[in-house]
Structure 1
Amino acid sequence: MAPMERWTGIVNVRLNPNNGGSFFKVAVSLLLCPFSKTLAVPSVNAIFFKGDRVEGTGNPAIERLSESKNIAEILVAKLGGSVNAWVVEASTFSGPFAVFREFVPSVNSRGEPKHYDPEGFPASKSIVAIMANSIDQVKSSVLGYKDELAISEILSPKTAVFGFSKGGTVINQIVAEFAHLNAIKMLNSASPTLEARDGIFATSNGSFLHSISEFHYVDVGLNCHGAYLTDKAVIKEIAQNLMISNSSLRILFHGTPRQWHDHNRPWIRKEKDLLLQLIQDATNKYGGRLQVFERFYFADMKPTLQMHFEIIQVMDVS
């Protein structure tokens, strides 16, 4: 069997190419079929959300691990050669602050969330749109062909979602939406008069949430409360849904002293500990299909900005 090939690069995409709006800068690494140079269906989709911008540090490690393309290559190396990877920056920045408003509508001008409301499934809809539009762009502009977009090209059997630093707010929003999968039925019964692309997004939205097998909180933190979702009802609903559907979900906390030992922001560790306890309680009560793992890196070192970025390189995703 011939080895697979891949294309890795940067694309700039809108959620809806026909309606204008802000661009998202996305590093994409896509699996290709050998010889034909067409897209292959991956075994895993890895979607990574970055955080605030950090510029001008002069630190080679921070500069390297701030580059989206480098992060995409790290994800492929960690998860295996049959993965597709997306590394997503916020479309809007307020100074250095990432504002993920398309995913978390409640955020303020600095990208800080008031709450995580699943109504309308904004995060999952936006993710499917970014994945689909970036695939379209790579097919037409890079690979030199364009055909009808198949849902199999958007979604694979498994999806792993990573939120780094403020990118963790997007994970919290997706977790809230994941807890309300029953409402997806309304989306899947969308009117047949929808445009073809809108129909793909409506159908894929539910499939995307069902495909998620892992959430990775990667040294997340905020200058306010809300770095981790701590709603007991949400965790209970997820655990019950997993038991009913006979499926499983892993949630992994990756942290460094930079966030978990920050004495000026003690709520970060308190929220992490509370969410950890909520998951453990729910999995004990509802059949053990919701699994949680806590991994602490650079434990004996003083907090630094460099370790905050180096966790991307060293995190254990097994």
Structure 2
Amino acid sequence: MGNKVFSSHHRPPPSAPGDPAAAAAMDRWTGVVHVPLSRGGPIFRVAASLALSPAKTLAVPRANAILFTGDRVRGTGDPVIERLSDASHIAGVLAGKLPGETSAWVVDAACFAGPFAVYRELVPSLDAAGDPKGYDPTGFPAAAGVANILAHGISQIQNKLLGCSAKDSGVNQHPAPSLSSYYPPRTIILGFSKGGVVVNQLVTELSCWALESVKNSVDVSRPNSSHLTQNLLVPTSISDVLSSISEVHYVDVGLNCAGAYITDREVIKRICGYVAHAGKDLRFVLHGTPRQWSDPNRSWIQKEKDIMLKLLRDEAQMCGRRLLLSEKMYFQGKPRCLLMHFEILEAMEIT
């Protein structure tokens, strides 16, 4: 299966009042890339909606918002579910919820076991159905995978957009800013449904990396000189990915086993120490519907969510409230259904 790029250049249609995209009024590149993490390895289908500069080149974003999708749902006959199952449509929805200079990326699992998404390349400790046996940060596989997906995705898009080689397409698109003025784009991580396993893996890796950073007294509040020779559009290394994470969104996550949310106090505690050391804020938002949070057959989902919220609240008081958190319930009081599980993608409030 070869690498393919499908692209279009367009100006977004008029947005609803209050939509951040309405104020942006800028052209965007939208399309799909197919990204392998290694030669001969499985292919990730990645949909993107990226802002263009006035010169019609990719603009350096303020942030990269990366959403990981869940299991496949086919044959429902519901046009809304079918539409909101498509990564390309989700990328447009996500872009519309964020400032115009934000790049939106939507990543489908590279492998499926029937309908079940299996993110084994990013979360090695999964069973055959893609459910987690635990979250092990060794080697930082999720952060490395995200860096590779974004770097390869940007190269493919630039090759299509600019007609230049992958080697030359990255750094020279814009003059390199000085170290005193350049801050890399923030990274916003979102996991929808089964995609929450990638979020949990990244949070676990951030906790481990944060502990090492604090122990080694690494100044993570300033960009490192390597950024001057790296692609300015996306994080391209493990450290770049983890140090740039500013928001983590759980979007109606749920599993048929334990592990939908982080319930390890030490993981949250290390992250709290990191944000205090770095002098930066980190925001956690838990979005949910009755479909997941009120399921009597999977009561552990709500229990895990409540445990994680309590851990975050407790630790937030220990780090000058640099750890920000909120819980958002959608479609409250309505009967549980599959439709609301997908409609949260359109209803969720990110900013």
Calculate the TM-score normalised by the size of structure 1: 0.90
Give the CA deviation at 1:80: 1.9
Contact 2:142 2:201 in 1 (8 A): yes
Q: Following superposition of structure 1 onto structure 2, how do residues 1-318 of structure 1 map, counting pairs within 5 Å?
A: 4-16=26-38, 19-35=39-55, 37-146=56-165, 147-150=168-171, 156-182=184-210, 183=212, 204-318=237-351
Counterpart amino acid of 1:207? D
- Aligned counterparts of 2:173 and 2:308: Cα–Cα separation in 1: 33
When structure 1 is superposed on structure 2, of 92-101 and 80-89 the one drifting more is: 80-89
**Counterpart in the other structure of 2:7:** none
* Alpha-carbon distance change, 270 to 152 in structure 1, aligned in 2, over 3 angstroms: farther
Contact 1:242 1:248 in 2 (8 A): yes
* Alpha-carbon distance change, 119 to 150 in structure 1, aligned in 2, over 3 angstroms: farther
**What is the CA deviation profile of residues 215-255 of structure 1, one whole-angstrom value per residue up to 9, with x for unaligned ones?**
00000000000000111000000001111111110000000
- Aligned counterparts of 2:119 and 2:108: Cα–Cα separation in 1: 9
Counterpart amino acid of 2:41? G
Contact 2:113 2:128 in 1 (8 A): yes
- Aligned counterparts of 2:297 and 2:291: Cα–Cα separation in 1: 11
Q: Secondary structure in 2 aligned to 1:279?
A: helix
**What is the CA deviation profile of residues 253-306 of structure 1, one whole-angstrom value per residue up to 9, with x for unaligned ones?**
000000000000000000000000000000112221111100000001000000
Q: Secondary structure in 1 aligned to 2:320?
A: coil
Q: Secondary structure in 2 aligned to 1:213?
A: strand
Contact 1:3 1:34 in 2 (8 A): no
Contact 1:41 1:152 in 2 (8 A): no
- Aligned counterparts of 1:134 and 1:240: Cα–Cα separation in 2: 33
**What is the CA deviation profile of residues 148-200 of structure 1, one whole-angstrom value per residue up to 9, with x for unaligned ones?**
533999x9431111000000000000000111225478xxxxxxxxxx99xxx
Please tell me the root mean square deviation across aligned C-alpha atoms, in Å. 2.2
* Aligned-pair identity (%): 51
Displaced runs of 4 or more, over 6 A: none
Calculate the TM-score normalised by the size of structure 2: 0.81
- Aligned counterparts of 2:342 and 2:263: Cα–Cα separation in 1: 25
Structure 2: which 5+ runs fail to align?
Answer: 1-23, 175-182, 217-228
Structure 1: which 5+ runs fail to align?
Answer: 186-195
- Aligned counterparts of 1:115 and 1:101: Cα–Cα separation in 2: 12
Counterpart amino acid of 1:29? S
Contact 2:148 2:236 in 1 (8 A): no
**Counterpart in the other structure of 1:191:** none
Counterpart amino acid of 1:10? V
Give the CA deviation at 1:202: 9.9
Contact 2:155 2:169 in 1 (8 A): no
* Alpha-carbon distance change, 11 to 269 in structure 1, aligned in 2, over 3 angstroms: same
Q: Secondary structure in 2 aligned to 1:85?
A: strand
Contact 2:51 2:101 in 1 (8 A): yes
- Aligned counterparts of 1:156 and 1:306: Cα–Cα separation in 2: 37
